[in-house]
Amino acid sequence: MTAGFDPDAERSPARHEIPRIDEAALEAARLADRLLAAARDVGVVRWATFLAPFPERLRDEEPAALRKTALAARAAFGPRDSIRDAFSDDLTLPFLAALDRLLKVLARYRMHAD
Q: What's the total number of domains in the chain?
A: 1
Q: What is the pLDDT of residue 6?
A: 45
62 compared with 14, residue with greater pLDDT: 62
Whether 55 is in a domain gets the answer: yes
Q: Please give the angle made by the CA atoms of 76, 41 and 23, to the nearest 5 degrees.
A: 55
What does pTM read for this prediction? Answer: 0.87
Q: What is the pLDDT of residue 11?
A: 65
Which residue, 63, 75, 80, 73, is CA-closest to 36?
Answer: 73
Average pLDDT over residues 44-58: 97
Residues 65, 95: contact at Cβ < 8 Å? no
Q: What is the pLDDT of residue 4?
A: 52
Whether 2 is in a domain gets the answer: no
Whether 3 is in a domain gets the answer: no
Whether 24 is in a domain gets the answer: yes
Average pLDDT over the chain, rounded to an integer: 90
Strand, coil or helix: what is 86? coil
Whether 8 is in a domain gets the answer: no
The residue segments making up the domain with residue 75 are: 17-113
Residues 57, 69: contact at Cβ < 8 Å? yes
Q: What is the pLDDT of residue 64?
A: 86
Whether 10 is in a domain gets the answer: no
C-alpha to C-alpha distance for 5 and 17, rounded to whole angstroms: 22
Residues 36, 61: contact at Cβ < 8 Å? no
